[in-house]
Structure 1
């Protein structure tokens, strides 16, 4: 899987009024950051926005699928990202509207270090 650099550039351009978008390679795709917060990923030739329980109703209202991947062992893994609606690919205002929802979810997410500690504690 390769990253669609044109899509990443489009997101960065459309998000310029909000903040600086950077990217980092991730599982053959890319993670997108706005001013340091992970708010989206590009994978499987699509844009996926970060979601959480508070934003689920908005994503469900447009039937946005959850990001899932099937591992080599057949196990299906999901990540808290929802597929962006089609209009974000050519409408910068629509992209920003959905991206803001994703940024809010990113702000609510616990810091990565805290997530690791809580997973270790749960394992015992």
Structure 2
């Protein structure tokens, strides 16, 4: 599931509109962070954004799927990350809007881990 260098260059260029986005490699994929919070990832040549209850419906209504991978126990769905529609990447205004919602969701899910 490694990310091709072409796709990596493509998404780096697209994310320039957000400013200080940090890309880091992990497990053959790329983590994408803003202000030290990972809000997106690329696996294979698919981009996934972080979701929570505030934005998940935007993805499911368009038929987008959660990140998944095969394990010995079967297919594992990671419902925190959903693939994004191609047209979002093609439109800077939409990309900014969806990325900001993903950043907000990432902050919310990150904060929930530490509250008791």
Give the structure 1 partner of residue 3 of structure 2: 3
- Which aligned pairs between 1:102-117 and structure 2 lie closer than 5 A? 102-111=102-111, 114=114
Q: TM-score, normalised by structure 1?
A: 0.76
Give the structure 2 partner of residue 78 of structure 1: 77
Q: 1:104 to 1:83 in 2, by over 3 A?
A: same
Between Structure 1 and Structure 2, the one with more strand by share is 2
Give the structure 2 partner of residue 32 of structure 1: 32
TM-superposed CA distance for 1:112, in Å, is 8.8
Q: 1:110 to 1:93 in 2, by over 3 A?
A: same
Give the structure 1 partner of residue 93 of structure 2: 93
Structure 1 gaps of 5+ residues are: 119-124
Q: TM-score, normalised by structure 2?
A: 0.81
* Alpha-carbon RMSD: 2.3
**CA–CA distance in 2 between the matches of 1:14 and 1:96?**
10
Bigger-Rg structure (1/2): 1
**CA–CA distance in 1 between the matches of 2:42 and 2:49?**
9
**CA–CA distance in 1 between the matches of 2:60 and 2:19?**
27
- Are the aligned partners of 2:14 and 2:89 in contact in 1 as well (CA < 8 Å)? no
Give the structure 2 partner of residue 121 of structure 1: none
Q: How many residues align?
A: 115
